[in-house]
Amino acid sequence: MAADLAIGIHDLSFATTEFVLPHTTLAAHNGTDIGKYHVGIGLRSMSVPAADEDIVTMGAAAAAPIVARHGSDQIRTVVLATESSVDQSKSAGVYVHSLLGMPSSTRVVELKQACYGATAGLQFAAGLVHRDRTQRVLVIASDVSKYELDSPGEPTQGAAAAAMLVSADPALVRIEEPSGLFTADIMDFWRPNYLPTALVDGQDSIAAYLQALEGAWKDYTEQGGRALEEFRAFCYHQPFPKMATKAHRQLLRSSGHDSDDSRVLRDIGHTTDYNAAVGNSYTASMYLGLASLLESADDLTGQPIGLFSYGSGSVAEFFAGTVVPGYRAHLRAAAHQEAIARRRPVDYARYRELHGLSLPEDGGDHAVPPQTGGPYRLAALSGHKRIYQPR
């Protein structure tokens, strides 16, 4: 994309839950060597939602600092990407729009394609801004990753939301053309409407991820994208941080490059810190990786970053972004570190209780007990309606 058509990420913010389960606690419960978690999958803890937290409260908490900094007058569209939707019809983004007090002259939609949805939202947003460069688009990725207790997926649970303001002349990252795309009909991970937790075949899902990476990269190169050696760093979707290592090693090898540990660490080492603390946040995962990279790496001004987004089922996209001069002045490192640090650890019994919570389905009037201190909460259900409140 030419410099005079620069469109990309103008601001980036994320939020997570009130509670956290350290993997040391999970390992002590099930007798697992902690190295399997800390080293084997690269996770140290996972965010756990309280009864009054969900994708709406996290999404609003992630987006509120962006609206506070930039205002909402130029935000004509809100796109919320999730695979943890709270309603089969109404977009969760409409609740967020209301909580943030945004103008009625706004379009709001929800997107779904497993963990890929936020990247679809980013690309849709870029197209809208290209059509009208005075407009800005708020893209929110918000998810709760939940698996059955004592299942192989349990250690990779998590929850977070990432919000991005997409605009012309962005302050953080300029999104480049082209993109490399890949789609295949694969049942590696899915959640039928009648199940509260996802179904996953771990080995098939890893294989599907790597197949999609090779396919998207092949298409990216055929579309005239950058050579691999041009990239300063790479951000990957992280169902668990070690997946980024597996993916990048595969990309290096298949492209004829050395894939030793030092090369992999150089290319992705700054992208895993937040995901290691939060766990799998599905649609938000790659964008937490991008925040981690921008906030912890040495000066990236003018440097291209490779971004790989994967959603089971499966859809994938490889694209590039170039870091904008002066980006450091617009980062939110202190707020993001505080969001991680402020979480309250729970013991295994409390985690199990929170995991098993389900909302009433009888359409009656039910107050949701306050458990959190965040800016927004799910306050009640009444007549099958969810009622959210700002604090």
Check if the beta carbon of residue 300 is closer than 8 Å to that of residue 232: yes
70 catalytic? Reply is: no
237 catalytic? Reply is: yes
The Cα–Cα gap between 385 and 362 comes to 11
Per annotation, catalytic residue among 18, 110, 115, 248: 115
Q: Count the Cβ atoms, other than its own, within 10 Å of residue 310.
A: 30
The Cα–Cα gap between 258 and 115 comes to 29
Check if the beta carbon of residue 113 is closer than 8 Å to that of residue 186: no
Q: Give 83's contacts (C-beta < 8 A, 6+ positions apart).
A: 112, 113, 114, 115, 117, 143, 191, 282, 283
Per annotation, catalytic residue among 18, 83, 110, 317: 83
Q: Count the Cβ atoms, other than its own, within 10 Å of residue 24.
A: 14
The Cα–Cα gap between 237 and 242 comes to 11
The Cα–Cα gap between 72 and 77 comes to 10
Per annotation, catalytic residue among 97, 237, 270, 336: 237
The Cα–Cα gap between 284 and 341 comes to 19
235 catalytic? Reply is: no
Q: Which residues are catalytic?
A: 83, 115, 237
